[in-house]
Amino acid sequence: MSLYDFACEYCEGVVRERIVEREPISHHRGIVVLENVPVGLCDRCGARYYAAPVLKRVESILAKPKPPARTIEVPVEAY
Ligand SMILES: [Zn+2]
């Protein structure tokens, strides 16, 4: 089942699913580039839509904690 196939919000066109090799998707937290992502594309005006599972994926990637700036090695020995 397609995530899309609904009427475009901006024109009379229909939003069709297209698998895009590399799609930058912006979210309120930042931008993520997803590979082989199903994007909704209006067949008339070309407006782009992202289905809820796609945005959820972007959100989960951006929600990951950043790696620490520095790590230190600490020697451990038995007494
Ligand atoms: Zn449209």
Q: How far does the centroid of ligand 1 lie from the alpha carbon of residue 18, in Å?
A: 15
pTM assigned to the model: 0.75
Please answer whether residues 37 and 24 qualify as being in contact, where contact means their C-beta atoms are separated by less than 8 angstroms.
Answer: no
- Residue 32 and residue 19: Cα distance in Å, rounded? 16
| Rg, the chain, Cα only | 20
pLDDT of 14-42, one tens digit each? Answer: 999 999 999 999 888 889 999 999 999 99
| Domain over 6-63 is classified CATH 3.10.20 | yes
Instruction: For residue range 38-54, list pLDDT tens digits in order.
Output: 999 999 999 999 999 99
What pLDDT score was predicted for residue 9?
A: 97
Q: Where are the domains of the chain?
A: 6-63
Expressed in angstroms and rounded, the spacing between residue 46 Cα and the centre of ligand 1 is: 6
For residue 29, give the 3-state DSSP assignment.
Answer: coil
Q: Which two tokens stand for residue 43?
A: 């067949």
**Protein residues placing their CB within 5 Å of the ion ligand 1:** 8, 10-11, 13, 42, 44-45, 47
Q: What is the pLDDT of residue 10?
A: 97
Cα 11 to middle of ligand 1, angstroms: 4
Q: Kindly report the number of other CB atoms within 10 A of residue 42's CB atom.
A: 21
